[in-house]
Structure 1
Amino acid sequence: MVEQSIWMQKVEADPGHSQWYIERFRSLARAGEDLVGEARLVDAMVPRGARILDAGCGPGRVGGYLAEAGHTVVGVDVDPALIAAAEQDHPGPRWLVGDLAELDLPSRGIPEPFDIIVSAGNVMTFLAPSTRVRVLSRLRAHLDDDGRAVIGFGSGRDYEFGQFFDDAAQAGFTPDLLLSTWDLRPFTENSDFLVASLRPSPQGL
């Protein structure tokens, strides 16, 4: 049995947590805040009309922008409330409730592979630690051999960057480009945020 994600543990402890998160981003959007920096980077990495998987899509801000830019987007999140908000606020992509540790989109009628996979919003730190390698392996299985996975999360969230690199290697990825922000600042040993563009390892898994 797959261990429950840290996110869903939070939801069980506080049933209002998901709605708070949804309303937080709706409020920021109404205030005119820039909420699509991650999506702009991903958009620049692929040709128009790319197939994109938004892994841990939340209420849809990243995948929604990418769909409007002309890409075919599938978003997956474990929280049904977030998926419902994505469907309401960002129609266009296909939004699905699902656990990334058990990701199997072909079984749900969605062909693979994807040209790029994006996982923004600290998704990796909300996974159950025992599922991290499994999630990365499932992402690798859904990615084209020439594709890239772009994953961003902050430090101080019980997932050291070094451990992430080890987990990614175990899952069949190799680093392609490492940044400390979504606006292309270089990653250094002192960075408190990581944006990792990963390519499938030559040997794969």
Structure 2
Amino acid sequence: MTGQRDRWAELTGGQAGEEYAQRFAQLAESGHDVHGEASFCAALLRPAARVLDAGCGTGRIAIRLAELGHDCTGVDVDSSMLAVARRAAPAQEWLLGDLARLDTLGLRPGFDLAIAAGNVIPLLAPGTEPDVVRQLAAALRPGGLLVTGMGLDAAHLPLPEPPLTLAEFDHWCTRAGLTLRHRYATWSGDPYYEGCGYAVSVHSSPAT
């Protein structure tokens, strides 16, 4: 562990798993599509791809991608969230760990895609963001994809102000050897525009 509390832990105290799962269950019951991130990723993947769900939370995305035939591993630092994921899909791989030290978890590299959705990047421990991007890039196969979704203003974040800019994030990705391929305003693929408040980004690692 880095020894520094992430912004998510500051907000929730690390006890939000059941409440978070219940909120999405209620959304699904009311007819909302709660699989937008998984559908977005599935469109980028070949059959039976290896996926790393970084900051997987209660496992909503990884479980759905597994249902679609992909091999998914979830990692999260919040044990209350992982408890829900393990209960929902006990056969899947769920790892408790700090994304800034992903290389200590014994993961086999060569993932086809790593996803960090749900404002994972903005909610990391302050100062660890470049390390997390570097770790996620290192986990990918040549030509693999890093998919991220993050709010860029207070209206799209559970924070009073954004802790990072999109330019900073892109800089960390460039330093990690990643190249921006696509950027959207939503998980439905709506075009990104300056000031839209949310960004879904697809970066790729170098192909050999």
TM (norm. structure 1) is 0.89
Match of 2:195 in 1: 190
Report if the CA contact (8 A) 1:64-1:92 is conserved.
Answer: no
Higher helix share: 1
The 2-side partners of 1:6 and 1:163 are apart by 18
Displacement of 1:27 in angstroms is: 2.3
For residues 46-101 of structure 1, what are the alpha-carbon distances to aligned partners after superposition, in whole Å with 9 as ceiling and x for unaligned?
A: 11100000000010110010000000000001100100101112344211111100
**Superposition pairs for residues 143-158 of structure 1, below 5 Å?**
143-156=140-153, 157-158=162-163
Displacement of 1:201 in angstroms is: 4.8
The 1-side partners of 2:111 and 2:55 are apart by 15
The 1-side partners of 2:32 and 2:103 are apart by 34
TM (norm. structure 2) is 0.88
Match of 2:133 in 1: 136
Stretches of 4+ moved more than 4 A in 1? Answer: none
Displacement of 1:6 in angstroms is: 0.8
Match of 2:85 in 1: 86
The 2-side partners of 1:140 and 1:16 are apart by 29
Secondary structure at 2:121 match in 1: helix
The 2-side partners of 1:16 and 1:38 are apart by 24
The 2-side partners of 1:16 and 1:148 are apart by 31
Displacement of 1:113 in angstroms is: 1.1
Q: Does 1:200 align with 2:201?
A: no
Q: Which runs of 5+ in 1 are unaligned?
A: none
**Superposition pairs for residues 31-180 of structure 1, below 5 Å?**
31-104=30-103, 107-108=105-106, 110-156=107-153, 157-180=162-185
Report if the CA contact (8 A) 1:118-1:151 is conserved.
Answer: yes
Q: Does 1:22 align with 2:21?
A: yes
Displacement of 1:18 in angstroms is: 3.7
The 1-side partners of 2:201 and 2:114 are apart by 11
Q: Let me know the Cα RMSD of the aligned residues.
A: 1.9
1:197 partner amino acid: V
For residues 85-134 of structure 1, what are the alpha-carbon distances to aligned partners after superposition, in whole Å with 9 as ceiling and x for unaligned?
A: 011123442111111001026x53x3211001111111111102200000
Q: Which runs of 5+ in 2 are unaligned?
A: 154-161
**Corresponding pairs, count:** 199
Q: Percent identity?
A: 36
Secondary structure at 1:168 match in 2: helix
Report if the CA contact (8 A) 1:179-1:185 is conserved.
Answer: yes
The 2-side partners of 1:129 and 1:104 are apart by 19
